[in-house]
Amino acid sequence: MKQPLTIGFIGLGLIGGSIAKAIRYYYPDTTILAHTRSHITLDYAIKEQIIDIACEQVDERFSDCDYIFLCAPVEANASYLQTLKTLIRPGCIITDAGSTKTDIHTHVAELGLESQFIGGHPMAGSEKTGINNAKRHLLENAYYIITPTSQVSQESVEAYVELVRSLKALPLVLDYHEHDFVTGAISHLPHLIAAALVNLVHNEDTPSETMRMVAAGGFKDITRIASSSPEMWEQICMTNSENILKVLDDYIRNLEDIRVALAQKNGSAINTLFRESRDYRNSFSDLSAGPIKKNHRLYCDLVDEAGGIAILSTILASRGITLKNIGIVHNREFEDAVLLVEFYDAESKIRAAEELRRYRYTVYEV
């Protein structure tokens, strides 16, 4: 790979900021320039030395780039292609981080930019937005889907795959149509379901909002993503509606079957539903979950809350195990587990679990 690189960003929020931070870390000599909608982001990125050049406009400074990452919401990304076409030098690869791919590939083809475009989509992220939440290790251990056009050179694809791999992500080359069907099912539909479920509870809640107060692990697990950016998700849904509609129709049919089973008091159908879902869900690998879910937590029981925390932390401190976080859990995932203990690494968690079990604590590892 040519080095040092010059890399441009358009959009520098959670994803763009995380990619820029990773590039800055692994390729410190890279010149990074960026344009975003808000100059507050650019000021912050300069101050934190994430980027070198803040561009109020997308102008000739982008002509120096080896790669340009489009990291704004998907429709905004596509709107920059026309301008970039007039600026980029031969050999520059435009890529994006957008959650949908057919739409941008269509724009790329219409503009005759196919020899200079490789789609990209890191399968990592969160409901949070903005560069303040960007993390260098966000991409680590996460699949990074790559959708080359048919006209981009093999050499460019290999170099890009290598760049992605060097940022510690797991590159996966896919056809962009397949990408949109797959993400429609495992990302876009789940976001719509989460949003609809939260709004349902909002509408059904009692006058004293008891549902909001007691909502526990189950509801919170399935709805975290309902807090995602409305702007981003509007654009995702509008650019992958056909695929989402297909899986949504199947989902509605499944719900109707569940409704029939409940109305007929068909316990065995409900049992089969949960048995099949459990078996398939348990077969999922967490290897590519990315660092966000790689927290090193355990839960344990605690009889006397006030003195209990002190005793437990003393036990761990006396074994040289450092705690990252400790606190009482009010929405319990486990019946008796009232204490959440978090560590900095897997080894500390494993050692702590052993020690606490020696002291007859009931420990739940997650």
User: Under the criterion CB under 6 A, does residue 120 sit at the interface with ligand NAD?
Assistant: no
- Of 56, 27, 23, the C-alpha closest to 41 is 56
Is the CB of residue 161 less than 8 Å from the CB of residue 171? yes
Residue 12 found at the interface with ligand NAD (CB under 6 A): yes
76 forms part of the interface with ligand NAD (CB under 6 A): yes
Q: Is 11 in the site for ligand NAD (CB under 6 A)?
A: yes
Give the nearer residue to ligand NAD in terms of CB position, either 74 or 81. Answer: 74
CA distance 72 to 37: 9
Q: Which does 16 bind (CB under 5 to 8 A by kind): ligand PRE, ligand NAD, none?
A: ligand NAD
Q: Count residues near ligand NAD (CB under 6 A).
A: 29
Phi, psi of 116 (to 5 degrees): -125, 25
Which of ligand NAD, ligand PRE, none binds 232 (CB below 5-8 Å, type-dependent)? ligand NAD
CA dist 81 and 272 (Å) reads 49
Give strand pairing partners of 341.
298, 326
Of 48 and 127, which has the nearer Cβ to ligand PRE? 127
Distance of alpha carbon 351 from alpha carbon 113, whole angstroms: 54
Name the one range near ligand NAD by CB under 6 A: 13-21, 48-56, 154-162, 326-334: 13-21
Residue 187 binds: one of ligand PRE, ligand NAD, none (C-beta under 5 to 8 A by kind): ligand PRE
Binding stretches for ligand PRE (CB under 6 A): 99, 123, 125-127, 187, 225
List Cα–Cα distances, 50 to 19, 26, 55, in angstroms.
Answer: 10, 12, 14
Name the residue nearer to ligand NAD (CB basis): 93 or 145: 145
Q: Rank residues 73 and 171 by Cβ distance to ligand NAD and give the closer one.
A: 73
In this structure, the strands spanning 93-96 and 67-70 are parallel
